[in-house]
Amino acid sequence: AQSVAQPEDQVNVAEGNPLTVKCTYSVSGNPYLFWYVQYPNRGLQFLLKYITGDNLVKGSYGFEAEFNKSQTSFHLKKPSALVSDSALYFCAVRDGSENNRLAFGKGNQVVVIP
């Protein structure tokens, strides 16, 4: 079964500094990878996804993620963090089989310090 690991509970970063949120995954077969963001008392919002093609994926709000097959990672990055980026970030993976289950990581709280 597919699984996702987000090793850090919380990521603190100063406003204007680069932001990285780590994600590693485990699937049998080719992975479909997603990042979602959740603001307080809201549902999850889609940021970006990797299905196939270019390993560097660009998404909403200036975020991007790099698919690394050898390291089974899909880290989320933003060159310059904003205070408004403070939120809970979820990585998710689905394998390419008939299994429709999207496995989510436990989430990373990002705190951007003014």
Partner 1 sequence: NAGVTQTPKFQVLKTGQSMTLQCAQDMNHNSMYWYRQDPGMGLRLIYYSASEGTTDKGEVPNGYNVSRLNKREFSLRLESAAPSQTSVYFCASSEVWRTDTQYFGPGTRLTVL
Instruction: Please give the residue ranges that form the binding site for partner 1 (CB under 8 A).
Output: 4, 32, 34, 36, 41-46, 49, 51, 90, 94, 98, 100-102, 104-107
**Cβ-Cβ contacts under 8 Å for 43 (sequence gap 6 or more):** none
Token look-up 């079964």 returns: 1
Burial tier of 72 (Cβ tally within 10 Å: 0-12, 13-18, 19+): middle
To the nearest 10°, report the CA torsion of 23, 26, 32, 35: -20
> If DSSP codes are grouped into helix, strand and coil, which group holds residue 57?
strand
CB of 87: closest distance to partner 1 in angstroms? 14
Nearer to partner 1, 70 or 98 (CB): 98
Minimum distance, C-beta of residue 37 to partner 1, in the bound complex (Å): 11
Length of the chain: 114
- The residue among 54 and 114 lying less far from partner 1, judged by its C-beta, is 54
CB 46 to partner 1: min, Å: 5
CB of 20 to partner 1, least distance (A): 19
